[in-house]
Chain A
Amino acid sequence: MMKDIVKLGLILAAFAAAACVGLAFVNQATEAQIAVNAEKQLNESLSGLFPEAEKFVDATAELKIADPAVALEAAYLAERGGAPLGVAVKAKGQSYGGPTTVLVGVALDRRIAGVRILDGKDTPGLGANAMNPTFFVDKSKKTTFPGQFSGKALSDPFEVKNDVVAITASTITSKAITKMIKASADAASARLEAFAAAPAEAAPGGK
């Protein structure tokens, strides 16, 4: 009887051990690629927002988001020739189906350079259409949900059904993402104020 239980336990343990080892292997093999994918997406998004930028300097410590429901993940200063082009803010907040991560770029003229939705957990076909590059809120102009924010002035109300077009049947998602974009943009704008206030910070010889 005891011998049977021990035998049972050993076989179980053997399977479990084999599984863990096998998984550790696969994990090792895929880890690097998974990390590369995330970085690639971020870099592509940043370049998409500020195509003339030469480099992106990490500026996370210099920003703060006022809205407690939106968490600042990272901030980048887009630079060209030492002069700032704008600020990109990566922030995370709760949407309908789970957390959503947005990347918002604000240019020097206090207009939104662009918005990218990096990650989200909303329903495919509904809220997840915010991330779908083929889903248009304005079919005639082929504008995607985040695309409608490009060039938008920060002084706008940023209200769904007012100056922001919602995704059909996904109002909660649309409102949540709009809130995140506004909060991130405001934080970016505050950082840009610091540039205007201290022009001496510009690179020597540059503008």
Chain B
Amino acid sequence: MTKIFIIALLINNVVLMRFLALCSYVGMTSDVGQSVGMGFAVTFVTVLATAATWPLYNFVLLPLGLGFLQILVFILVIASLVQLVEFYLKKNVPGLYAAMGIYLPLITTNCAILAVTFENISNGYSFIESIVYAVGVSLGYLLAMVLLAGVRIRIKNSPVPKFLKGTPILFAATSLIAIAFMGFSGLVK
């Protein structure tokens, strides 16, 4: 199980190796605090989503031969969970709610979350393995977000060549971070 976790967190990092969750990666890394908040929000939703969708698929959809409804059901579950998180934050942590603004409902469209719920099924993970995978992937997301936020602070004060100004430099920087992450593949036999 540690193997699942390490591969998800570092070796097969969801953003840097698998290109998922890029929209929020580009949009929410202008501030380190924002990245951390987003990372934890995503972790929370992903774990909850896993806990909800895994039994739903294995104990309801599959036995009833409704496997083809997987996409529909999973995304609706995630959307509902994000709504719930929104309500909760609005009431109890209004500061964070205001800071996250439009990016909170956008968690629904975070590819990484849906991908995790799907892969728990297609990889044949048990419930516990699914939770471990979910935590590994989301912490990997958090890691990538924080790294880029840090790099962006530096970029602001550095001379960027004209043709890379704006978003291109962000992706060029990400390319370099990804190269570094490739070094992790030696962690697992």
Contacts and interface: CB of A to CB of B under 8 A. Distances in A.
Interface of A: 19-20, 23-24, 26-27, 94, 96-99, 121, 123, 171-172, 175
A166 to B, nearest CB: 12
A23 B123 contact: no
A205 B6 CA distance: 59
B20 to A, nearest CB: 12
A121 B69 contact: no
A27 B185 CA distance: 40
In this complex, the interface size class of chain B, counting residues with CB under 8 Å from chain A, is 10 to 19
Contacts of A27: 68
A19 B122 contact: no
B68 A172 contact: no
A96 B185 CA distance: 10
B69 A172 contact: no
A66 to B, nearest CB: 19
B123 A171 contact: no
Interface in B102-149: 119, 122-124
A19 B68 contact: no
Given A19-B72, A24-B68, A172-B188, A98 B7 contact: no
A27 B65 CA distance: 11
**Chain A interface mostly helix, strand, loop or mixed?**
helix
B189 to A, nearest CB: 8
Q: Which of B18, B68, B123 has the largest count of A CB atoms less than 10 A from its CB? A: B68
A14 to B, nearest CB: 15
B13 interface: no
A96 B72 CA distance: 28
Contacts of B119: 98
B12 A23 contact: no
B68 A98 contact: no
A99 B120 CA distance: 11
A177 B7 CA distance: 17
14 contacts: A20-B69, A20-B72, A23-B68, A23-B69, A23-B72, A24-B68, A26-B68, A94-B123, A96-B12, A98-B119, A98-B123, A99-B122, A121-B122, A172-B185
B185 A171 contact: yes
A65 to B, nearest CB: 16
A120 B185 CA distance: 19
Given A27-B68, A96-B11, A99-B122, 8 more contacts: A19-B72, A20-B69, A20-B72, A23-B68, A23-B72, A97-B12, A121-B122, A123-B17
A96 B18 CA distance: 12
Contact of A121 (B17, B123, B188, B189): B123
